[in-house]
Structure 1
Protein backbone atom coordinates (compact mmCIF):
# COMPACT_ATOMS: atom_id res chain seq x y z
CA UNK A 1 0.00 0.00 0.00
CA UNK A 2 1.64 3.21 -1.12
CA UNK A 3 -0.12 5.32 1.52
CA UNK A 4 1.21 3.13 4.32
CA UNK A 5 4.66 2.77 2.78
CA UNK A 6 5.03 6.52 2.48
CA UNK A 7 3.70 7.08 5.99
CA UNK A 8 6.12 4.53 7.39
CA UNK A 9 9.01 6.31 5.67
CA UNK A 10 7.92 9.61 7.22
CA UNK A 11 7.62 8.07 10.68
CA UNK A 12 11.06 6.50 10.48
CA UNK A 13 12.53 9.88 9.63
CA UNK A 14 10.63 12.09 12.07
CA UNK A 15 8.47 10.36 14.68
CA UNK A 16 8.91 9.40 18.31
CA UNK A 17 9.50 5.74 19.14
CA UNK A 18 6.00 5.66 20.63
CA UNK A 19 4.36 6.62 17.34
CA UNK A 20 6.59 4.36 15.25
CA UNK A 21 5.56 1.44 17.43
CA UNK A 22 1.89 2.47 17.27
CA UNK A 23 2.10 2.37 13.48
CA UNK A 24 3.67 -1.08 13.55
CA UNK A 25 1.11 -2.43 16.00
CA UNK A 26 -1.87 -1.05 14.10
CA UNK A 27 -0.79 -1.56 10.49
CA UNK A 28 2.01 -4.10 10.15
CA UNK A 29 1.30 -6.70 12.84
CA UNK A 30 3.80 -5.30 15.33
CA UNK A 31 3.74 -5.86 19.06
CA UNK A 32 1.07 -4.04 21.04
CA UNK A 33 2.90 -4.88 24.25
CA UNK A 34 5.88 -2.82 23.07
CA UNK A 35 3.59 0.21 22.64
CA UNK A 36 2.31 -0.29 26.17
CA UNK A 37 5.85 -0.62 27.51
CA UNK A 38 6.81 2.72 25.97
CA UNK A 39 3.57 4.41 27.06
CA UNK A 40 4.26 3.26 30.61
CA UNK A 41 7.45 5.35 30.59
CA UNK A 42 5.32 8.51 30.33
CA UNK A 43 3.32 7.62 33.47
CA UNK A 44 4.39 9.10 36.78
CA UNK A 45 4.26 7.43 40.21
CA UNK A 46 1.09 9.44 40.99
CA UNK A 47 -0.67 7.69 38.06
CA UNK A 48 -0.79 10.74 35.83
CA UNK A 49 1.10 11.24 32.59
CA UNK A 50 3.67 13.85 31.62
CA UNK A 51 7.10 13.94 29.93
CA UNK A 52 5.72 15.54 26.74
CA UNK A 53 3.29 12.74 25.93
CA UNK A 54 1.20 15.74 24.88
CA UNK A 55 4.00 17.42 22.89
CA UNK A 56 3.05 20.99 23.83
CA UNK A 57 3.53 20.21 27.54
CA UNK A 58 7.24 19.60 27.88
CA UNK A 59 7.47 19.04 31.62
CA UNK A 60 7.62 15.82 33.62
CA UNK A 61 4.72 16.76 35.91
CA UNK A 62 1.37 15.02 35.52
CA UNK A 63 -1.38 16.98 33.81
CA UNK A 64 -4.98 16.03 32.98
CA UNK A 65 -4.68 16.33 29.19
CA UNK A 66 -1.85 13.79 28.77
CA UNK A 67 -4.13 11.27 30.48
CA UNK A 68 -6.53 11.76 27.60
CA UNK A 69 -3.71 11.20 25.09
CA UNK A 70 -2.81 7.98 26.92
CA UNK A 71 -6.45 6.84 27.01
CA UNK A 72 -6.83 7.26 23.24
CA UNK A 73 -3.72 5.13 22.69
CA UNK A 74 -5.05 2.50 25.08
CA UNK A 75 -8.36 2.69 23.21
CA UNK A 76 -6.76 1.98 19.83
CA UNK A 77 -5.01 -1.05 21.34
CA UNK A 78 -8.16 -2.22 23.18
CA UNK A 79 -5.99 -2.21 26.30
CA UNK A 80 -8.21 -0.66 28.97
CA UNK A 81 -7.61 -3.68 31.16
CA UNK A 82 -4.00 -2.54 31.57
CA UNK A 83 -3.13 -1.39 35.11
CA UNK A 84 -2.19 2.02 33.71
CA UNK A 85 -5.90 2.84 33.47
CA UNK A 86 -6.69 2.30 37.15
CA UNK A 87 -3.60 4.22 38.21
CA UNK A 88 -4.57 7.09 35.92
CA UNK A 89 -8.09 7.15 37.33
CA UNK A 90 -6.65 7.29 40.84
CA UNK A 91 -4.65 10.30 39.73
CA UNK A 92 -7.75 11.95 38.25
CA UNK A 93 -9.57 11.37 41.52
CA UNK A 94 -6.73 13.13 43.36
CA UNK A 95 -7.11 16.31 41.26
CA UNK A 96 -10.90 16.34 40.96
CA UNK A 97 -12.67 19.53 41.99
CA UNK A 98 -15.71 19.51 44.29
CA UNK A 99 -18.08 19.54 41.30
CA UNK A 100 -16.63 16.30 39.94
CA UNK A 101 -14.47 17.32 36.96
CA UNK A 102 -10.78 17.90 36.43
CA UNK A 103 -9.14 21.17 35.35
CA UNK A 104 -7.97 22.00 31.86
CA UNK A 105 -4.47 22.20 33.30
CA UNK A 106 -2.78 22.59 36.66
CA UNK A 107 -0.39 25.31 37.91
CA UNK A 108 2.56 22.88 37.69
CA UNK A 109 2.40 23.50 33.95
CA UNK A 110 4.46 26.63 34.62
CA UNK A 111 7.44 24.60 35.87
CA UNK A 112 8.67 23.69 32.37
CA UNK A 113 8.48 24.94 28.78
CA UNK A 114 5.01 24.80 27.25
CA UNK A 115 2.96 26.17 24.41
CA UNK A 116 1.63 29.63 25.29
CA UNK A 117 -2.00 28.51 25.26
CA UNK A 118 -1.46 26.11 28.16
CA UNK A 119 -2.21 28.46 31.03
CA UNK A 120 -4.18 27.44 34.13
CA UNK A 121 -7.26 29.45 35.02
CA UNK A 122 -7.45 31.12 38.42
CA UNK A 123 -8.41 28.53 40.98
CA UNK A 124 -8.01 25.67 38.47
CA UNK A 125 -11.76 25.06 37.93
CA UNK A 126 -13.02 21.86 36.35
CA UNK A 127 -13.48 21.90 32.58
CA UNK A 128 -15.19 19.75 29.98
CA UNK A 129 -11.73 19.57 28.38
CA UNK A 130 -10.58 16.88 29.11
CA UNK A 131 -13.16 15.60 31.63
CA UNK A 132 -15.77 14.79 28.98
CA UNK A 133 -13.47 12.73 26.76
CA UNK A 134 -11.96 10.88 29.71
CA UNK A 135 -15.36 9.97 31.13
CA UNK A 136 -16.66 8.95 27.71
CA UNK A 137 -13.75 6.58 27.13
CA UNK A 138 -14.27 4.95 30.52
CA UNK A 139 -17.92 4.36 29.61
CA UNK A 140 -16.94 2.97 26.22
CA UNK A 141 -14.66 0.39 27.85
CA UNK A 142 -16.85 -0.42 30.83
CA UNK A 143 -14.36 0.83 33.41
CA UNK A 144 -16.22 1.41 36.68
CA UNK A 145 -13.87 3.47 38.84
CA UNK A 146 -14.94 5.86 41.65
CA UNK A 147 -13.87 8.80 39.49
CA UNK A 148 -16.26 7.98 36.65
CA UNK A 149 -19.59 8.64 38.40
CA UNK A 150 -18.89 12.16 39.67
CA UNK A 151 -17.14 13.04 36.40
CA UNK A 152 -20.16 11.84 34.42
CA UNK A 153 -22.50 13.92 36.59
CA UNK A 154 -20.24 16.93 36.08
CA UNK A 155 -20.36 16.47 32.31
CA UNK A 156 -24.15 16.22 32.20
CA UNK A 157 -24.51 19.33 34.35
CA UNK A 158 -21.96 21.36 32.42
CA UNK A 159 -23.26 20.25 29.00
CA UNK A 160 -26.82 21.15 29.99
CA UNK A 161 -25.61 24.72 30.56
CA UNK A 162 -23.93 25.01 27.14
CA UNK A 163 -25.55 27.29 24.60
CA UNK A 164 -22.62 28.35 22.43
CA UNK A 165 -19.32 26.54 22.40
CA UNK A 166 -15.80 26.50 21.03
CA UNK A 167 -14.18 23.90 18.73
CA UNK A 168 -12.15 22.03 21.35
CA UNK A 169 -14.98 22.05 23.87
CA UNK A 170 -17.40 20.90 21.15
CA UNK A 171 -15.10 18.01 20.29
CA UNK A 172 -15.03 16.94 23.94
CA UNK A 173 -18.83 17.16 24.12
CA UNK A 174 -19.21 15.04 20.98
CA UNK A 175 -16.88 12.38 22.40
CA UNK A 176 -18.82 12.21 25.66
CA UNK A 177 -22.25 12.11 24.02
CA UNK A 178 -21.10 9.50 21.52
CA UNK A 179 -19.63 7.14 24.13
CA UNK A 180 -21.64 7.59 27.35
CA UNK A 181 -23.96 4.77 28.43
CA UNK A 182 -27.20 6.77 28.72
CA UNK A 183 -28.11 6.89 25.03
CA UNK A 184 -31.51 8.53 25.48
CA UNK A 185 -30.09 11.44 27.43
CA UNK A 186 -27.13 11.71 25.05
CA UNK A 187 -29.47 11.86 22.07
CA UNK A 188 -31.55 14.61 23.63
CA UNK A 189 -28.51 16.76 24.41
CA UNK A 190 -27.09 16.14 20.96
CA UNK A 191 -30.33 17.24 19.30
CA UNK A 192 -30.25 20.44 21.37
CA UNK A 193 -26.59 21.22 20.67
CA UNK A 194 -26.12 19.96 17.11
CA UNK A 195 -26.34 23.39 15.49
CA UNK A 196 -24.04 24.96 18.09
CA UNK A 197 -21.50 22.20 17.50
CA UNK A 198 -21.70 22.58 13.73
CA UNK A 199 -21.07 26.31 14.10
CA UNK A 200 -17.54 25.40 15.25
CA UNK A 201 -16.79 23.11 12.29
CA UNK A 202 -14.98 24.15 9.10
CA UNK A 203 -17.09 22.46 6.42
CA UNK A 204 -14.89 23.75 3.60
CA UNK A 205 -12.04 21.22 3.15
CA UNK A 206 -9.86 24.04 1.86
CA UNK A 207 -10.21 26.23 4.95
CA UNK A 208 -6.84 27.55 6.09
CA UNK A 209 -5.40 28.27 9.50
CA UNK A 210 -6.35 26.50 12.69
CA UNK A 211 -9.56 25.05 11.30
CA UNK A 212 -11.47 22.16 12.89
CA UNK A 213 -12.81 19.82 10.22
CA UNK A 214 -15.54 17.17 10.39
CA UNK A 215 -13.00 14.36 10.72
CA UNK A 216 -11.52 16.04 13.79
CA UNK A 217 -14.93 15.55 15.41
CA UNK A 218 -15.56 12.15 13.84
CA UNK A 219 -12.17 10.45 13.33
CA UNK A 220 -14.13 7.23 13.19
CA UNK A 221 -17.85 6.69 12.47
CA UNK A 222 -20.01 8.15 15.22
CA UNK A 223 -23.25 6.86 16.66
CA UNK A 224 -24.46 10.47 16.55
CA UNK A 225 -25.75 11.81 13.20
CA UNK A 226 -23.47 14.84 13.16
CA UNK A 227 -22.37 14.81 9.51
CA UNK A 228 -23.96 13.56 6.30
CA UNK A 229 -22.27 10.92 4.18
CA UNK A 230 -21.45 13.40 1.43
CA UNK A 231 -19.73 15.76 3.89
CA UNK A 232 -17.64 12.91 5.27
CA UNK A 233 -16.77 11.67 1.77
CA UNK A 234 -15.59 15.11 0.69
CA UNK A 235 -13.38 15.47 3.75
CA UNK A 236 -12.00 11.95 3.45
CA UNK A 237 -10.94 12.79 -0.10
CA UNK A 238 -9.24 15.93 1.20
CA UNK A 239 -7.58 14.05 4.06
CA UNK A 240 -6.09 11.46 1.72
CA UNK A 241 -4.86 14.21 -0.59
CA UNK A 242 -3.19 16.04 2.32
CA UNK A 243 -0.52 13.38 2.79
CA UNK A 244 2.73 15.24 2.22
CA UNK A 245 5.49 14.32 -0.22
CA UNK A 246 7.42 13.06 2.79
CA UNK A 247 4.53 10.75 3.61
CA UNK A 248 3.12 12.37 6.75
CA UNK A 249 0.37 14.72 7.81
CA UNK A 250 1.23 18.02 9.45
CA UNK A 251 -0.53 20.04 12.17
CA UNK A 252 -2.43 23.18 11.23
CA UNK A 253 -1.91 25.05 14.51
CA UNK A 254 1.13 27.13 15.55
CA UNK A 255 4.36 25.26 16.12
CA UNK A 256 6.03 27.19 18.93
CA UNK A 257 9.32 25.24 18.92
CA UNK A 258 10.81 23.10 16.12
CA UNK A 259 10.74 19.79 17.97
CA UNK A 260 6.98 19.72 18.43
CA UNK A 261 6.39 19.89 14.67
CA UNK A 262 8.00 16.47 14.32
CA UNK A 263 6.38 15.03 17.44
CA UNK A 264 2.93 16.22 16.42
CA UNK A 265 3.56 15.17 12.83
CA UNK A 266 4.28 11.60 13.88
CA UNK A 267 1.32 11.43 16.21
CA UNK A 268 -1.06 12.93 13.63
CA UNK A 269 0.19 10.68 10.85
CA UNK A 270 -0.87 7.63 12.85
CA UNK A 271 -4.18 9.31 13.69
CA UNK A 272 -4.90 10.15 10.03
CA UNK A 273 -4.17 6.59 8.97
CA UNK A 274 -6.53 5.32 11.66
CA UNK A 275 -9.26 7.60 10.30
CA UNK A 276 -8.75 6.48 6.71
CA UNK A 277 -8.94 2.85 7.82
CA UNK A 278 -12.01 3.44 9.98
CA UNK A 279 -13.85 4.72 6.89
CA UNK A 280 -12.50 1.97 4.60
CA UNK A 281 -10.27 4.41 2.72
CA UNK A 282 -7.00 2.46 2.92
CA UNK A 283 -6.25 0.16 -0.04
CA UNK A 284 -6.89 -3.49 0.67
Structure 2
Protein backbone atom coordinates (compact mmCIF):
# COMPACT_ATOMS: atom_id res chain seq x y z
CA UNK A 1 0.00 0.00 0.00
CA UNK A 2 1.14 3.56 -0.61
CA UNK A 3 1.42 6.23 2.06
CA UNK A 4 -2.17 7.45 1.79
CA UNK A 5 -3.65 3.96 1.79
CA UNK A 6 -1.63 3.02 4.85
CA UNK A 7 -2.72 6.19 6.63
CA UNK A 8 -6.36 5.57 5.76
CA UNK A 9 -6.08 2.06 7.16
CA UNK A 10 -4.52 3.37 10.36
CA UNK A 11 -7.30 5.90 10.82
CA UNK A 12 -9.98 3.30 10.13
CA UNK A 13 -8.55 1.10 12.86
CA UNK A 14 -7.54 3.69 15.44
CA UNK A 15 -8.59 7.25 14.58
CA UNK A 16 -11.34 9.39 16.06
CA UNK A 17 -14.28 10.13 13.80
CA UNK A 18 -13.18 13.74 13.37
CA UNK A 19 -9.74 12.69 12.15
CA UNK A 20 -11.14 10.05 9.79
CA UNK A 21 -13.42 12.70 8.30
CA UNK A 22 -10.56 15.22 8.10
CA UNK A 23 -8.62 12.68 6.06
CA UNK A 24 -11.58 12.07 3.76
CA UNK A 25 -12.18 15.79 3.24
CA UNK A 26 -8.55 16.65 2.59
CA UNK A 27 -7.34 13.62 0.66
CA UNK A 28 -10.32 11.70 -0.72
CA UNK A 29 -12.83 14.28 -1.86
CA UNK A 30 -15.07 13.91 1.17
CA UNK A 31 -17.39 16.72 2.28
CA UNK A 32 -15.97 19.28 4.66
CA UNK A 33 -19.47 19.71 6.12
CA UNK A 34 -19.22 16.35 7.86
CA UNK A 35 -16.02 17.48 9.61
CA UNK A 36 -17.76 20.66 10.72
CA UNK A 37 -20.74 18.67 11.99
CA UNK A 38 -18.46 16.61 14.23
CA UNK A 39 -16.40 19.62 15.32
CA UNK A 40 -19.58 21.30 16.56
CA UNK A 41 -20.03 18.43 18.99
CA UNK A 42 -16.85 19.50 20.77
CA UNK A 43 -18.10 23.10 21.17
CA UNK A 44 -19.90 23.99 24.38
CA UNK A 45 -22.79 26.35 24.98
CA UNK A 46 -20.36 29.07 26.11
CA UNK A 47 -18.68 29.00 22.68
CA UNK A 48 -15.50 27.36 23.91
CA UNK A 49 -14.29 23.90 23.03
CA UNK A 50 -13.62 20.95 25.32
CA UNK A 51 -14.64 17.29 25.41
CA UNK A 52 -11.09 16.07 24.67
CA UNK A 53 -10.75 17.81 21.31
CA UNK A 54 -7.25 18.43 22.70
CA UNK A 55 -6.68 14.82 23.79
CA UNK A 56 -4.65 15.65 26.91
CA UNK A 57 -7.52 17.73 28.31
CA UNK A 58 -10.14 15.07 29.01
CA UNK A 59 -12.78 17.24 30.68
CA UNK A 60 -15.98 18.40 29.02
CA UNK A 61 -15.56 22.05 30.04
CA UNK A 62 -14.14 24.73 27.77
CA UNK A 63 -10.47 25.68 27.84
CA UNK A 64 -8.48 28.08 25.62
CA UNK A 65 -6.16 25.52 24.04
CA UNK A 66 -8.94 23.44 22.42
CA UNK A 67 -10.04 26.64 20.67
CA UNK A 68 -6.63 26.67 18.96
CA UNK A 69 -7.07 23.01 17.95
CA UNK A 70 -10.51 23.81 16.53
CA UNK A 71 -9.16 26.82 14.64
CA UNK A 72 -6.40 24.77 13.00
CA UNK A 73 -9.07 22.35 11.78
CA UNK A 74 -11.20 25.22 10.50
CA UNK A 75 -8.11 26.66 8.81
CA UNK A 76 -7.32 23.47 6.93
CA UNK A 77 -10.93 23.38 5.70
CA UNK A 78 -10.95 27.12 4.87
CA UNK A 79 -14.05 27.32 7.04
CA UNK A 80 -13.56 30.49 9.07
CA UNK A 81 -16.96 31.62 7.86
CA UNK A 82 -18.45 29.08 10.29
CA UNK A 83 -20.53 30.50 13.17
CA UNK A 84 -18.29 28.44 15.43
CA UNK A 85 -15.60 31.11 15.04
CA UNK A 86 -17.67 33.99 16.37
CA UNK A 87 -18.96 31.87 19.25
CA UNK A 88 -15.41 30.84 20.14
CA UNK A 89 -14.23 34.47 20.08
CA UNK A 90 -17.11 35.40 22.37
CA UNK A 91 -15.84 32.71 24.75
CA UNK A 92 -12.27 34.01 24.52
CA UNK A 93 -13.52 37.48 25.44
CA UNK A 94 -15.13 36.04 28.56
CA UNK A 95 -11.98 34.24 29.74
CA UNK A 96 -9.27 36.71 28.72
CA UNK A 97 -7.05 38.07 31.47
CA UNK A 98 -6.77 41.78 32.17
CA UNK A 99 -3.70 41.96 29.93
CA UNK A 100 -5.77 41.00 26.88
CA UNK A 101 -4.41 37.50 26.39
CA UNK A 102 -6.07 34.21 27.22
CA UNK A 103 -4.38 32.04 29.85
CA UNK A 104 -2.58 28.84 28.99
CA UNK A 105 -5.14 26.93 31.05
CA UNK A 106 -7.95 27.94 33.40
CA UNK A 107 -8.41 26.84 37.05
CA UNK A 108 -11.41 24.50 36.42
CA UNK A 109 -8.92 22.10 34.81
CA UNK A 110 -8.01 20.99 38.34
CA UNK A 111 -11.33 19.21 38.65
CA UNK A 112 -10.98 17.17 35.45
CA UNK A 113 -8.78 14.34 34.19
CA UNK A 114 -5.85 15.82 32.29
CA UNK A 115 -2.17 15.37 31.56
CA UNK A 116 0.05 16.42 34.47
CA UNK A 117 1.49 19.44 32.67
CA UNK A 118 -1.88 21.20 32.57
CA UNK A 119 -1.45 23.21 35.78
CA UNK A 120 -2.33 26.79 36.60
CA UNK A 121 -2.64 29.41 39.32
CA UNK A 122 -5.87 30.79 40.77
CA UNK A 123 -5.67 33.93 38.61
CA UNK A 124 -3.58 33.02 35.54
CA UNK A 125 -2.25 35.78 33.28
CA UNK A 126 -2.54 35.83 29.52
CA UNK A 127 -0.14 33.60 27.63
CA UNK A 128 1.22 33.63 24.10
CA UNK A 129 0.27 29.94 24.12
CA UNK A 130 -2.40 29.84 22.73
CA UNK A 131 -3.25 33.54 22.24
CA UNK A 132 -0.66 34.17 19.51
CA UNK A 133 -1.66 31.20 17.34
CA UNK A 134 -5.38 31.93 17.67
CA UNK A 135 -4.85 35.60 16.83
CA UNK A 136 -2.63 34.72 13.89
CA UNK A 137 -5.23 32.38 12.40
CA UNK A 138 -7.96 34.99 12.81
CA UNK A 139 -5.77 37.54 11.00
CA UNK A 140 -5.11 35.04 8.21
CA UNK A 141 -8.82 34.74 7.57
CA UNK A 142 -9.72 38.41 7.95
CA UNK A 143 -11.18 38.17 11.44
CA UNK A 144 -12.94 41.26 12.78
CA UNK A 145 -14.19 40.12 16.18
CA UNK A 146 -13.49 42.71 18.92
CA UNK A 147 -11.44 40.16 20.88
CA UNK A 148 -8.78 40.22 18.18
CA UNK A 149 -7.64 43.83 18.68
CA UNK A 150 -6.88 43.37 22.39
CA UNK A 151 -5.29 39.98 21.76
CA UNK A 152 -3.08 41.41 19.02
CA UNK A 153 -1.92 44.24 21.28
CA UNK A 154 -1.15 41.68 23.98
CA UNK A 155 0.89 39.59 21.55
CA UNK A 156 2.96 42.55 20.34
CA UNK A 157 3.62 43.63 23.92
CA UNK A 158 4.59 40.17 25.14
CA UNK A 159 6.72 39.38 22.08
CA UNK A 160 8.65 42.62 22.59
CA UNK A 161 9.64 41.36 26.04
CA UNK A 162 11.08 38.05 24.81
CA UNK A 163 14.78 37.41 25.07
CA UNK A 164 14.95 33.64 25.43
CA UNK A 165 11.96 31.47 24.69
CA UNK A 166 10.63 27.91 24.85
CA UNK A 167 9.59 25.63 21.98
CA UNK A 168 5.83 25.96 22.35
CA UNK A 169 6.02 29.71 22.86
CA UNK A 170 8.37 30.02 19.89
CA UNK A 171 5.97 28.08 17.66
CA UNK A 172 3.11 30.36 18.68
CA UNK A 173 5.23 33.44 18.00
CA UNK A 174 6.22 32.15 14.55
CA UNK A 175 2.54 31.58 13.72
CA UNK A 176 1.57 35.08 14.82
CA UNK A 177 4.47 36.83 13.10
CA UNK A 178 3.83 34.91 9.91
CA UNK A 179 0.16 35.91 9.70
CA UNK A 180 -0.32 39.31 11.36
CA UNK A 181 -1.02 42.11 8.83
CA UNK A 182 1.68 44.55 10.05
CA UNK A 183 4.44 42.95 7.98
CA UNK A 184 7.17 45.49 8.70
CA UNK A 185 6.77 45.11 12.45
CA UNK A 186 6.51 41.32 12.16
CA UNK A 187 9.66 41.03 10.09
CA UNK A 188 11.58 43.29 12.49
CA UNK A 189 10.56 41.18 15.50
CA UNK A 190 11.33 38.00 13.60
CA UNK A 191 14.82 39.23 12.75
CA UNK A 192 15.40 40.10 16.41
CA UNK A 193 14.14 36.74 17.68
CA UNK A 194 15.32 34.37 14.97
CA UNK A 195 18.33 33.03 16.83
CA UNK A 196 16.35 32.58 20.04
CA UNK A 197 13.68 30.69 18.12
CA UNK A 198 16.24 28.48 16.39
CA UNK A 199 17.75 27.64 19.78
CA UNK A 200 14.52 25.77 20.59
CA UNK A 201 14.56 23.66 17.40
CA UNK A 202 15.93 20.12 17.15
CA UNK A 203 17.86 20.16 13.87
CA UNK A 204 18.85 16.50 14.20
CA UNK A 205 15.94 14.62 12.57
CA UNK A 206 16.68 11.62 14.75
CA UNK A 207 16.58 13.48 18.06
CA UNK A 208 14.62 11.58 20.69
CA UNK A 209 12.33 12.71 23.45
CA UNK A 210 10.07 15.75 23.28
CA UNK A 211 11.95 17.39 20.43
CA UNK A 212 10.51 20.18 18.29
CA UNK A 213 11.60 19.84 14.69
CA UNK A 214 11.72 22.37 11.84
CA UNK A 215 8.48 21.08 10.31
CA UNK A 216 6.68 21.69 13.60
CA UNK A 217 7.52 25.36 13.11
CA UNK A 218 6.95 25.31 9.35
CA UNK A 219 4.28 22.70 8.56
CA UNK A 220 3.88 24.39 5.18
CA UNK A 221 6.31 26.61 3.26
CA UNK A 222 6.78 29.49 5.70
CA UNK A 223 6.24 33.17 5.13
CA UNK A 224 9.29 33.93 7.24
CA UNK A 225 12.72 32.45 6.34
CA UNK A 226 13.43 30.34 9.41
CA UNK A 227 15.11 27.34 7.73
CA UNK A 228 17.18 26.71 4.64
CA UNK A 229 15.82 24.39 1.96
CA UNK A 230 18.39 21.69 2.72
CA UNK A 231 17.26 21.59 6.36
CA UNK A 232 13.63 21.32 5.27
CA UNK A 233 14.48 18.58 2.75
CA UNK A 234 16.32 16.56 5.39
CA UNK A 235 13.36 16.74 7.73
CA UNK A 236 10.83 16.00 4.99
CA UNK A 237 12.77 12.82 4.21
CA UNK A 238 12.74 11.92 7.90
CA UNK A 239 9.04 12.71 8.23
CA UNK A 240 8.09 10.44 5.35
CA UNK A 241 10.25 7.67 6.80
CA UNK A 242 8.62 8.05 10.22
CA UNK A 243 5.28 6.63 9.07
CA UNK A 244 4.86 3.49 11.13
CA UNK A 245 4.22 0.03 9.78
CA UNK A 246 0.55 0.39 10.70
CA UNK A 247 0.32 3.67 8.78
CA UNK A 248 0.28 6.37 11.44
CA UNK A 249 2.61 8.97 12.93
CA UNK A 250 3.07 8.93 16.69
CA UNK A 251 3.54 11.76 19.19
CA UNK A 252 6.98 12.19 20.75
CA UNK A 253 5.77 13.59 24.07
CA UNK A 254 4.82 11.60 27.19
CA UNK A 255 1.74 9.39 26.93
CA UNK A 256 0.11 9.59 30.34
CA UNK A 257 -2.89 7.36 29.64
CA UNK A 258 -3.17 4.76 26.84
CA UNK A 259 -6.15 6.20 24.97
CA UNK A 260 -4.43 9.46 24.06
CA UNK A 261 -1.71 7.76 22.03
CA UNK A 262 -4.13 6.78 19.25
CA UNK A 263 -6.12 10.01 19.58
CA UNK A 264 -3.01 12.10 19.09
CA UNK A 265 -1.66 9.77 16.40
CA UNK A 266 -4.83 10.12 14.36
CA UNK A 267 -4.70 13.90 14.59
CA UNK A 268 -0.98 13.96 13.75
CA UNK A 269 -1.32 11.52 10.87
CA UNK A 270 -3.59 13.94 9.01
CA UNK A 271 -1.30 16.82 9.96
CA UNK A 272 1.84 15.04 8.70
CA UNK A 273 0.19 14.14 5.41
CA UNK A 274 -0.80 17.79 4.95
CA UNK A 275 2.80 18.85 5.53
CA UNK A 276 4.19 16.37 3.03
CA UNK A 277 1.67 17.52 0.44
CA UNK A 278 2.35 21.20 1.12
CA UNK A 279 6.01 20.64 0.24
CA UNK A 280 5.25 18.59 -2.87
CA UNK A 281 6.15 15.24 -1.32
CA UNK A 282 2.67 13.75 -1.61
CA UNK A 283 0.14 13.82 -4.39
CA UNK A 284 -3.57 13.79 -3.65
Per the normalisation by structure 1, the TM-score is 0.99
Moved more, 114-123 or 160-169: 114-123
Q: Distance in 2 between matches of 1:260 and 1:224?
A: 33
Q: Distance in 1 between matches of 2:283 and 2:129?
A: 35
Q: Distance in 2 between matches of 1:96 and 1:248?
A: 36
The DSSP-based 3-state class of the residue aligned with 2:74 is helix
CA shift for structure 1 position 210: 0.5
Q: Distance in 1 between matches of 2:270 and 2:121?
A: 32
Matches within 5 A, 1:94-113: 94-113=94-113
> Are 2:133 and 2:176, in contact at CA under 8 Å, matched by a contact in 1?
yes
Per-residue Cα deviation, 1:157-183 (whole angstroms, up to 9, x for no partner): 000000000000000000000010000
Q: Distance in 1 between matches of 2:233 and 2:151?
A: 35
Q: Distance in 1 between matches of 2:25 and 2:122?
A: 41
- Which residue of structure 2 lines up, in the alignment, with residue 141 of structure 1? 141
- Which residue of structure 1 lines up, in the alignment, with residue 194 of structure 2? 194
Q: Distance in 2 between matches of 1:163 and 1:112?
A: 34
- Which residue of structure 1 lines up, in the alignment, with residue 12 of structure 2? 12
> Are 2:58 and 2:113, in contact at CA under 8 Å, matched by a contact in 1?
yes
Q: Which runs of 5+ in 2 are unaligned?
A: none
CA RMSD of aligned residues (A): 0.8
Matches within 5 A, 1:28-43: 28-43=28-43
The DSSP-based 3-state class of the residue aligned with 2:173 is helix
Q: Distance in 2 between matches of 1:214 and 1:43?
A: 31
Q: Distance in 1 between matches of 2:110 and 2:221?
A: 37
- Which residue of structure 2 lines up, in the alignment, with residue 116 of structure 1? 116
Q: Distance in 2 between matches of 1:127 and 1:23?
A: 31
- Which residue of structure 2 lines up, in the alignment, with residue 249 of structure 1? 249
CA shift for structure 1 position 184: 0.3
The alignment covers a number of residue pairs equal to 284
> Are 2:48 and 2:87, in contact at CA under 8 Å, matched by a contact in 1?
yes
Q: Distance in 1 between matches of 2:110 and 2:77?
A: 32
CA shift for structure 1 position 56: 0.1
Moved over 3 A (4+): none
CA shift for structure 1 position 283: 3.9
Matches within 5 A, 1:1-284: 2-283=2-283
CA shift for structure 1 position 124: 1.0
Per-residue Cα deviation, 1:12-63 (whole angstroms, up to 9, x for no partner): 0100000000000000000100000000000000000000000000000000
CA shift for structure 1 position 111: 1.6
Q: Distance in 1 between matches of 2:263 and 2:250?
A: 10
CA shift for structure 1 position 121: 3.0
> Are 2:99 and 2:125, in contact at CA under 8 Å, matched by a contact in 1?
no
The DSSP-based 3-state class of the residue aligned with 1:147 is helix
Q: Distance in 2 between matches of 1:178 and 1:208?
A: 28
Q: Which runs of 5+ in 1 are unaligned?
A: none
The DSSP-based 3-state class of the residue aligned with 2:150 is helix
